[in-house]
Structure 1
Amino acid sequence: MGYFAGVALFALGIALTIGLHEWGHYSVARACDMRVRRFFIGFGPTVFQFTRGHTVYGLKAVPLGGFCDIAGMTAIDEVAPEEKPYAMVDKPWWARVATLLGGVTMNLLIGLIVLYIVAVGSGLPNPKADFTATVAETTCVTPDCTDAGPAAAAGIKPGDRILQVNGQDVPTFMDMRELIMGKPGETVTLQVERDGVRQDVQVDVPAVERPTEDGGIATVGAIGVVNQKPKDAIKQYGLIDAVPATFSFTGQMLSATVQGVAAIPAQVPGVVASIFGAERSESSPMSVVGASRIGGEVAEREQWATFLLMLASLNFFLALFNLIPLPPLDGGHIAVVLWEKLRDWGRGLRGLAPAGPADYTKLMPLTIAMTAVLLVFGAIVIVADIVNPIRLF
C-alpha cells in the first residue's frame, strides 16, 4: 500500500475513533432516557444531515472531530418544554456520570479489541523476553567521526551481553544507556558476558551533544553500541490465551499513556522550538496530522501490527486525556457532578434539601481558558507536524 493511501487509512481510523467515542455518549444517554438533539461527526461546514426521531444526524467537512448534543447537559442549557422530562441535568447523578464516561469507555473498548486482534494476528511484545543489553554492532558516536567507536576500541564485540555498569546491574539496554549518558568524560567498567564467560571491560566515555525533549542540547556520555532486539521479543497468542495477554499489555500501555499525558506541559517548549529549526524529539506530542503521516509511513512498509498498535495507543490517549478533571473535557463535567453529589450529601447531614445543579456560569472563565489552551496547543502541534515532523524511518 502506498504512503498516501496509508495516511488516508489512518485518518479514517481517527475519524472512526472519534465517531465511536461520541457514539459511546449517545448510546448511554439514550439508554438513560435522555434526549440527544444532534449527533455529528467532524467540524466545519455540514456535508449532509438527516433527522430520525428527535435527533439530527450528520457529517461535517473535516471528519476529525465530533459532538453529541444532549438536551439539558448543564443548568445553563436552554431546554424546550417537551425536552424537560429528558434533560440530562435532571437525571440521577449516576446516569449523568455513566453518560459522560460513555466515550471514554468506548475508547478503552476499541483499544482492547485492537490489541486482541494484534495478539492473535501477529503477536504482542513479550514481557518475559530477555531484554539484557546485547550488542548488535558497535559504532562511532558523533556525526563526523570515522573511528570504530569507544566500545569497539575497548574490545566489545557484537553478541556481547552487558550486565553491569560500575558494579550496578543494568537489566535492559535502556538502563545501561541512562547510566552511560550520565558519565560523559569518565571511564566506566562494564561487566560483559561473552560465550557464557563474564569479564570486566573498561571503556572511556566521550562527551557528546544530544537533543533534549525541550528543544535544547545536552552534553551526555555515549560508547557507540547498538542494541540487539531479543528473538522472543514478540509473542503470538491463541484465541484464549490472548485474552489475559491483551489485558496485561493494555495495563502497560495505559501506564505509559498516563506518563505521556503528564509530560505534555514540559514538552511544549520543545515542540515550539522545533517549529523554528530545533531537532524534534521522537517522544514529543503529535497532532492528527503527524499521527496520520506516520501511519502512512508504517502502512507503506506493510507494518500492520505497528499501524494497529498506533490506533490502540490513540484510543487510550483519548480516553485518559478526556478524564482530566477540567472543563470542557468529560472529566471536568464528571468532577462537577461528583461535587454536586458530595455537596448534597453534606447538606443532607445538616438536614438541608439538595441544592440542585451547579451554576456553570461560575465555571465559564475556566472553561473558556481551558478551551483556548487546547486550541493553541493543537495549533502549535499541527504546525510542528507540518514544518518539522517526527519520522520513524
Structure 2
Amino acid sequence: MTVLLFIVGVLIVLIGVGASIALHEIGHLVPAKLFGVRTPKYMIGFGPTLWSTRRGETEYGVKAIPLGGYVSMIGMFPPARGKGDLGRTDFGDLGGTAPDDAVAGAPATGVDSGRTPTTRRSSTGIFQQLADDARQASAEELQPGDEDRLFYKLPVYKRIIIMLGGPVMNLVIGFVLLAVLVSGVGTYQNTTSVSTVNECVLSSAEQAERAAAGEDSCRPEDPLAPASAAGLRPGDRVVEYDGVRLAAWEWQRLTDLIRSTAGETVEVVYIRDGAEHTATITPLLTARPELDAIGRPVTDATGAVQTVEVGFVGMGSETRHMTLPVSEVPEKVGENVRAVADVVLDLPARMAAVARAAFTDAPRDVNGPISVVGVGRIAGEVSAMEEIPLRDRASTLVGLVASLNIALFVFNLIPLLPLDGGHVAGALWEAIRRGFAKLFRRRDPGPVDIARLLPVTYVVAGLLLVMGVLLIYADIVKPVQLF
C-alpha cells in the first residue's frame, strides 16, 4: 500500500507539472494569435513527436522528452541589415511574384529594395554563421500572406505581452492554488499564541554547548528571558506589539518586530482567559538564526545555519490548522516569490553547494534548488505517510505544485535568452534605442537582431542543461531530506 501511495503522489505532481507547462505555453499562444502572429506549432516536450493534431494553422502535439515546451512563432528573427523585410526573404517574394524593383532579366529571388543582390554572403565567422543559419531556417517557414504576421514587426508592448504571457500564467496558477490552499482548505500556521516561554536567554552556540554536556537548565548568572520577565505564559495570545495590532496568524510579523527592537522597551498586549493585559518587554540583542523571506533558517555553502544579532524574547509559537482571508494570499505569493528570487540571485553558489553535496560528504541544503525528480520524490514520500491525515497530504501536494509554478514564474524572468526574460529584455532595449534615435532625430536603428545573440543563447541553454543533469543526479544520490 505504501508503494502504491508513493506512486500516486509522484503521478499527481507529474500531472501538475505537465499541466503547468502546457498552460505556460498557452500563455504565449493566446496573445500571439490575438495579435495576428502565425503560430505553426504548439508542443509540450522536446525531441521526437509522440502525438500531434492540426487545428487551423497550428499543429498541437506532445513530444518524447517532457522537460518543457514551446510555441513556434513566425518572424522571431528580423532580417540582416541591408536585406530588407522578411516579407521578401533571400528565397523569393512571398507573393510568388518578382519584386517591384527587380532588374529586368534577374530572377525573382535576387534583389532587395536597395538593388543589392540578396544571395547569401559568406560569413566572417562562426557567430555570423549561426545568425545566418537561424535567419535562413526562419525564412524557410514563411508562407504567402505572412508579410504582416511576423513577430518582430509587432509593437514592442505586444511582443512583451506575448513573452510575459507564459510566466504570468504560472503566477496565476500559483496564486489560485495558494488561494485554494490557504483560504479554502487551510494550512498549519505559526500563530501569535504562546506555546513555550524560556526561563533564560542563551545564544545558539551556548545552547549547543550545554546540550552536548547534558545540561538542560539555566544557571543563576544567565540573563532572564524578556518574555518570562514580562509575565507571559503558555496559552497567552499576543494581539499587539509596540503599537502594531496583530492577527492570530501573524507570528512572522511579530518575530520581525521583536528582532528589530533589540534593547528597546516596548508595550506588548496579550489576551489571557478572555481578558486583555498590557506589559512592557525589552528584547535582548543576541545571536539567532538568520531567516529568509518565509521564515526559514538561512544556511551557508556547508549547510551550517547562519546567525545574525537581533532582538530575542524567548517564547515559542503555537501551531494551528487554520484558514486565512483571501486578502492574505497576495502576501503569501509575495513571500514565495522573494524566497525563489533569493535562490536565483545566489544560484551559482547554490549550484556549487549542490555539486559538493553530490560528490562529497557535505550535507544537502534543504532550502537549495531541486529538480523535478526531487519534487516527485518529496511528493511520493508525503503521499506514503499514512500516519498523516489525507487532508494534510493533499494540501502538501497542492503546495508543491503551487511553489513550482512560482519558481517557473521567477526563473523565466531572468533576462537571458532563451528564457522569456531574455526576449523581454531585447524588446525593451529596442524601445530604448528607437526612443533615443527619435529624441536626437537620428535614423531608426530598426529591430534588435536577437539572431546575433544565438551564441549566448546556446551557452545559457548548455548551462541550464548541465544544471538540470546535476540536480537530477544529486536528487538521486543525495536527495533533500525534509522529513
Question: Which TM bucket (shorter chain)?
Answer: 0.7 to 0.9
The yes-or-no answer on 1:317 pairing with 2:400 is no
Matches of residues 82-97 of structure 1 in structure 2 within 5 Å? Answer: 82=144, 83-97=146-160
The 8 Å contact of residues 325 and 333 in structure 1, kept in 2 or not, is answered as: yes
Aligned residues: CA RMSD: 4.1
Match of 2:18 among 15, 18, 36: 15
CA distance change for structure 1 residues 346 and 133 in 2, over 3 Å: closer, same or farther?
Answer: farther
The yes-or-no answer on 1:280 pairing with 2:342 is no
The 8 Å contact of residues 71 and 88 in structure 1, kept in 2 or not, is answered as: yes
Instruction: Name the structure 1 match of 2:46.
Output: 43
The 8 Å contact of residues 36 and 69 in structure 1, kept in 2 or not, is answered as: yes
The yes-or-no answer on 1:60 pairing with 2:147 is no
The 8 Å contact of residues 20 and 405 in structure 2, kept in 1 or not, is answered as: yes
Give the C-alpha shift of residue 388 in structure 1: 0.2
Partners of 1:113 and 1:125 in 2: CA distance: 18
The 8 Å contact of residues 46 and 58 in structure 1, kept in 2 or not, is answered as: yes
Partners of 2:440 and 2:281 in 1: CA distance: 73
Give the C-alpha shift of residue 248 in structure 1: 2.4
The 8 Å contact of residues 303 and 364 in structure 2, kept in 1 or not, is answered as: no
The 8 Å contact of residues 53 and 60 in structure 2, kept in 1 or not, is answered as: yes
Instruction: Name the structure 2 match of 1:343.
Output: 433
CA distance change for structure 1 residues 282 and 42 in 2, over 3 Å: closer, same or farther?
Answer: same
Partners of 1:219 and 1:95 in 2: CA distance: 45
Match of 1:115 among 144, 165, 178: 178
Give the C-alpha shift of residue 257 in structure 1: 2.2
Letter of the structure 1 residue corresponding to residue 174 of structure 2:
G
Report SS of the residue matched to 2:346.
helix
CA distance change for structure 1 residues 174 and 10 in 2, over 3 Å: closer, same or farther?
Answer: farther
Give the C-alpha shift of residue 359 in structure 1: 2.0
- TM-score, normalised to structure 1's length? 0.77
The 8 Å contact of residues 132 and 162 in structure 1, kept in 2 or not, is answered as: no
More deviation, 302-311/286-295: 302-311
Report SS of the residue matched to 2:418.
coil
The yes-or-no answer on 1:100 pairing with 2:163 is yes
Instruction: Name the structure 2 match of 1:354.
Output: 444
The 8 Å contact of residues 71 and 86 in structure 1, kept in 2 or not, is answered as: yes
Instruction: Name the structure 2 match of 1:130.
Output: 192
The percent of aligned pairs where both chains have the same amino acid is 32
- TM-score, normalised to structure 2's length? 0.64
CA distance change for structure 1 residues 263 and 133 in 2, over 3 Å: closer, same or farther?
Answer: farther
Partners of 1:245 and 1:220 in 2: CA distance: 29
Instruction: Name the structure 2 match of 1:186.
Output: none
Report SS of the residue matched to 2:175.
helix
Q: Structure 2: where are the runs of 5+ without partners? A: 79-134, 199-206, 231-241, 243-251, 263-271, 288-296, 309-313
Instruction: Name the structure 2 match of 1:377.
Output: 467
Report SS of the residue matched to 2:354.
helix
Matches of residues 1-393 of structure 1 in structure 2 within 5 Å? Answer: 2-75=5-78, 76=135, 77-78=138-139, 79-82=141-144, 83-124=146-187, 129-130=191-192, 134=196, 141=208, 147=214, 149=216, 152=217, 154=219, 172=255, 213-215=300-302, 228-232=316-320, 234-237=321-324, 241-242=325-326, 244-276=327-359, 277-301=361-385, 302=390, 303-393=393-483
The 8 Å contact of residues 174 and 405 in structure 2, kept in 1 or not, is answered as: yes
Give the C-alpha shift of residue 220 in structure 1: 8.3
Structure with the higher fraction of residues in helix conformation: 1
Q: Structure 1: where are the runs of 5+ without partners? A: 180-194
Give the C-alpha shift of residue 297 in structure 1: 1.8
Partners of 1:15 and 1:329 in 2: CA distance: 18
The 8 Å contact of residues 343 and 368 in structure 2, kept in 1 or not, is answered as: no
CA deviation string 1:128-187 (max 9, x = no partner): x32878469xxx848x958254xx35499xx995799xxxx99649988xx9xxxxxxxx
Give the C-alpha shift of residue 374 in structure 1: 1.1
CA distance change for structure 1 residues 91 and 125 in 2, over 3 Å: closer, same or farther?
Answer: farther
CA distance change for structure 1 residues 272 and 231 in 2, over 3 Å: closer, same or farther?
Answer: closer
Report SS of the residue matched to 2:10.
helix
CA deviation string 1:213-272 (max 9, x = no partner): 423668989xxxx9854245x5314xxx42x12122222222222222212222122100
Letter of the structure 2 residue corresponding to residue 68 of structure 1:
V
CA deviation string 1:338-392 (max 9, x = no partner): 1111111111123334222212233122212211211111111111111000021
Partners of 2:307 and 2:442 in 1: CA distance: 63
| Count of residue correspondences | 356
The 8 Å contact of residues 135 and 160 in structure 1, kept in 2 or not, is answered as: no
CA distance change for structure 1 residues 50 and 220 in 2, over 3 Å: closer, same or farther?
Answer: closer
The 8 Å contact of residues 39 and 58 in structure 1, kept in 2 or not, is answered as: yes
CA distance change for structure 1 residues 383 and 146 in 2, over 3 Å: closer, same or farther?
Answer: same
